[in-house]
Amino acid sequence: MKRMKLLSLQILVMLVFLAIWHVVTTTSLFGDVKTMQFFFSTPSAVLTRTFKQLTSGDIYYHLGIIWSKVALGFTLVFFIVFFNVYQGVREVSPTILSNARMLGMNERQLFKHVYWPSALTWMFSSLHTSVGFALVGAVVGEYLGSSAGLGYKIHEAESVFDVTGVFAGMLILAIFVIAIDSLVTVVEKRLLVWRPGQSSTTAT
Amino acid sequence: MELQDRPQAHAGTGAVSSDDPAVALGGIDITFHLADGGRYQAVKGIDLKVHPGEFVSIVGPTSCGKSTLLNAAAGLLAPSAGTVGIFDKPLSGLNRRAGYLFQQDALMPWKTALENVKVALEPMGVPEREADQRAREWLGRVGLRTFVDRYPHMLSGGQRKRVSLAQMLIRNPEILLMDEPFGPLDAQTRQIMGNLLLDLWSRDRKALMFVTHDLEEAIALSDRVVVMSAGPAAGIVADYKVDLPRPRDIADIRLEKAFHEIHRDIWASLRVEVQKAYAIGEGRELVGGDAS
C-alpha cells in the first residue's frame, strides 16, 4: 500500500514536470513559442524521437560503441571499487576471523568463507555509483571526440541546433544507466540474500 | 597483592589427576605494547592446570586478563613469557585440539545456521553429504531443528549462541574454551543455555575453561573456580573446588545451602579484587607500565 502511494507520487512529480515543460514550450505565456522550442524542444517531440531511436536499430550500434569506452570509464571508477574491496577485506570482524581460524580453516578456506563474502558486500555498495560514473565517463569521452557512440550522437545533434535530439540522447542515456543499475541490483539481491533487510510481516 | 600473586598449586580433581593435563599454563606473563609506545602487563606469573574432564571457571574483576589468558590457551595470543602445554606438548601456533566459544557474535552472517555449522567440518575434510547430515543432527541437539535455513540476523541472541555451540562441538575438540559466552544474553536465556551446556558437556566431559564475571554462574556450572586478581599484572589469588553433585540444574542449585557456602567463601576473596579494580579505575593503563 505504502509502496503504491510512493510510486504514484513519483509518477505525479514526473507528470507535473512534463506538464510545465509542455506549457512553457507550446504556449506564449513565457515568451515566443518558436524561441522556447528552439531552446527547450517539447516533451512530446523528445519522447517521440526517443521512441523512434529506440525502435530503429541505429541507436544500439551507438550504445554498443560505448563498451569500448567503458574501459575508459572503469579507469575512472577503478579506485573507488578497489578501495571499497580493500576496505571490505580489512573490516572483516576480528571475531569472525578468529573463530574461522579456530575452526581450523587454512588461507584458502578463509578467503572462500570469510574474506570474499565480506569484500563482495563492499564491492556492490560501490558498484552502484561506479557503474553510473563509468557510463557517464564513457559518454563524455565520446562527446569530446569520437566518430560514433551516444556522446557523439548528442554532440552531433547539438551542432545542428537539434535540441530535441540532445534531449532524446540524454533520455536514452538515463534509461540505459537505470537499466544497468537495476541489473546490478538484481545480481546484488541474489548474492547478498543474507543481509538484514527491513523485516516484513504478513497479514493474516 | 604480591603475596597473593603466587598461585596455589592445585593437584587437579580426584581420579583424573593422573592424566596429562589438557591445558597446563606455566608462569605465563602477557604484556601488550600499546599504541602510544607504552606497555601494559595484563597477566603475570599464571600457573594453571586443567585436566581432562574438568570444568574450570575463571572469575575476576572486569578486564583483569581472563580473556587474555584464554586466548593464550587457544594460541590466538603468544605469551610474553612462560609455557602453554597442551596434553604435555608445548603449544606453538593455534591450538588445534581446542574449540573456542566467543563472547561476541562469531557466526558468518552470510551463511545460514546450517552452513555455519557445516563449514566447521570442511577443514577436517568431511564429505559434503555427511557434513550436512551431522550439522543437522547437531542443530537438532541444540534445539534449532526448524531454524536450519535462517541467517544469523534472523535468529535471536540465544539462538545464535546455540548455533555457535553446535559449530564448536561438531568438530569434537578435546578442549573447550569459552569466553563469557553467555555474557550478552538475558537472565532467563543464560539459565537455559547454562543447562544446555551442562547437558552437552556431561555426555563426554571434555576439559573446559569457562571465563565469566558472574560468580553464581561459575559455581553452578563448574568443578573448580579460579579467582584472578585485579589487573594490571593480574595473577591467580585463589582456586576453589566446587563439590556440588552432578547432574545439576543451574536454577535449582542456586537455592541449596552448599551453594551459598561456596559462594560466600569465593566472594570473600573476589570482593577484595573487585574493589581494587574499581579503586585503580581509569588510571589502570598507566600504572601497568613498569612491569616485565
* Cβ–Cβ gap B100/A95 under 8 Å: no
Residue B221 has pLDDT above 50, yes or no: yes
| pLDDT-derived band at A198, boundaries 50, 70, 90 | low
Which H/E stretch holds residue B201?
helix B187-204
What whole-number distance in Å separates Cα of residue B31 and Cα of residue A172? Answer: 64
Contacts of A194 in chain B (CB under 8 A): 109-112, 151-153
What would the pLDDT profile of A3-13 be if each residue is shown by its tens digit?
Answer: 889 999 999 99
Shortest Cα–Cα distance, A122 to chain B (Å): 13
CATH number of the domain enclosing A110 = 1.10.3720.10
- Say if CB B48 and CB B86 are below 8 A apart: no
Residue A48, C-alpha cell as written in the block: 517521440
Q: In this structure, are A83 and A184 located in the same domain?
A: yes
pLDDT value of residue A153: 84
Residue A102's Cβ-count burial label (10 Å; 0-12, 13-18, 19+) is buried
Is pLDDT larger for residue B80 or for residue A201?
B80
pLDDT value of residue B138: 94
Sort strands B224-228 and B236-241 into parallel, antiparallel or unpaired. Answer: antiparallel
Crossing angle for the helix pair A163-191 and A116-144, to the nearest 10 degrees: 170
Residue indicated by cell numbers 563469557: B180
Which of the 8 DSSP states describes residue B80? S
Percent of chain B with pLDDT over 70: 89
pLDDT value of residue A66: 66
Residue A58, C-alpha cell as written in the block: 541505429
Q: In this structure, are A78 and A19 located in the same domain?
A: no
Mean residue pLDDT across chain A: 83
The count of domains in chain A is: 2
Q: In this structure, are A133 and A185 located in the same domain?
A: yes
Residue A85, C-alpha cell as written in the block: 574491496
For residue A84, the one-letter residue type is N
Residue B287 has pLDDT above 50, yes or no: no
Q: Could you say which of A98, A109, A121 has the minimum Cβ distance to residue B122?
A: A109
Residue B241, C-alpha cell as written in the block: 573446588
What whole-number distance in Å separates Cα of residue B131 and Cα of residue B202? Answer: 24
Q: In this structure, are A23 and A92 located in the same domain?
A: no
pLDDT value of residue A2: 81
- Say if CB A154 and CB A59 are below 8 A apart: no
Beta-bridge mates of residue B33: B39
Residue A175 has pLDDT above 50, yes or no: yes
Give the residue numbers spanning the domain of A27. 1-40
Q: Which residue of A has its CA nearest to B166?
A: A103
* Helix, strand, coil percentages for chain B (3-state, nearest 5): 45, 20, 35
Residue B34 has pLDDT above 50, yes or no: yes
For residue B127, the one-letter residue type is P
Of B126, B128, B124, B144, residue with least CA distance to B136: B144
* Cβ–Cβ gap A100/B108 under 8 Å: yes
Is pLDDT larger for residue A9 or for residue A199?
A9
Torsions phi, psi for A173 (to 5 deg): -60, -45
Residue B15 has pLDDT above 60, yes or no: no
Percent of chain A with pLDDT over 70: 91
Q: Do the domain assignments include residue A174?
A: yes
**Looking at the whole model, is its pTM more than 0.80?**
no
- Say if CB A115 and CB A89 are below 8 A apart: yes
Task: Give mean pLDDT, residues A91-95.
Answer: 88
CA angle, residues B20, B24, B27, in degrees to nearest 5: 145
Q: In this structure, are A35 and A132 located in the same domain?
A: no
Q: In this structure, are A144 and A54 located in the same domain?
A: yes
Residue B9 has pLDDT above 60, yes or no: no
Q: In this structure, are A163 and A64 located in the same domain?
A: yes
Q: In this structure, are A8 and A86 located in the same domain?
A: no
Contacts of B163 in chain A (CB under 8 A): none
Q: Do the domain assignments include residue A202?
A: no
pLDDT value of residue B6: 37
Residue B13 has pLDDT above 60, yes or no: no
Which of the 8 DSSP states describes residue B81? E
Residue B100 has pLDDT above 90, yes or no: yes
What would the pLDDT profile of B232-282 be if each residue is shown by its tens digit?
Answer: 888 898 899 998 988 889 889 989 999 999 999 999 989 988 888 888 765
Is pLDDT larger for residue B106 or for residue A132?
B106
* Cβ–Cβ gap B123/A193 under 8 Å: no
What whole-number distance in Å separates Cα of residue B208 and Cα of residue B201? Answer: 9
B93 at interface of A, judged by CB pairs closer than 8 A: no
Contacts (Cβ under 8 Å, ≥6 apart) of A87: A122
Q: Do the domain assignments include residue A198?
A: no
Q: Of the ranges A122-131, A156-165, B265-274, which one carries the lowest mean pLDDT score?
A: A122-131
Q: In this structure, are A49 and A33 located in the same domain?
A: no
Q: In this structure, are A108 and A66 located in the same domain?
A: yes
- Say if CB B258 and CB B202 are below 8 A apart: no
How would you classify residue B86: left for phi > 0, otherwise alpha for psi between -120 and 50, otherwise beta?
A: beta
Residue B16 has pLDDT above 60, yes or no: no
* Cβ–Cβ gap B122/A105 under 8 Å: yes
Task: Give mean pLDDT, residues A33-53.
Answer: 87
What whole-number distance in Å separates Cα of residue B24 and Cα of residue A14? Answer: 73
Which of the 8 DSSP states describes residue B109? T
pLDDT value of residue B149: 92
Domain ranges of chain B: 2-97+173-285, 104-172
What whole-number distance in Å separates Cα of residue B259 and Cα of residue A55? Answer: 84
Q: In this structure, are A118 and A78 located in the same domain?
A: yes
ipTM > 0.90, yes or no: no
In CATH, what is the architecture of B2-97+173-285? 3-Layer(aba) Sandwich (3.40)
pLDDT value of residue A11: 93
Alpha helices per DSSP H over chain A? 2-26, 33-40, 43-55, 58-90, 94-102, 107-110, 116-144, 150-159, 163-191
Beta-bridge mates of residue B99: B176
* Cβ–Cβ gap A194/B106 under 8 Å: no
Mean residue pLDDT across chain B: 86
Q: In this structure, are A65 and A138 located in the same domain?
A: yes
Which H/E stretch holds residue B26?
strand B23-33
What would the pLDDT profile of B110-168 be if each residue is shown by its tens digit?
Answer: 999 999 999 999 999 999 999 999 999 999 999 999 999 999 999 999 999 999 999 99
Q: Count of CB contacts below 8 A, A vs B?
A: 66
Residue B234's Cβ-count burial label (10 Å; 0-12, 13-18, 19+) is buried
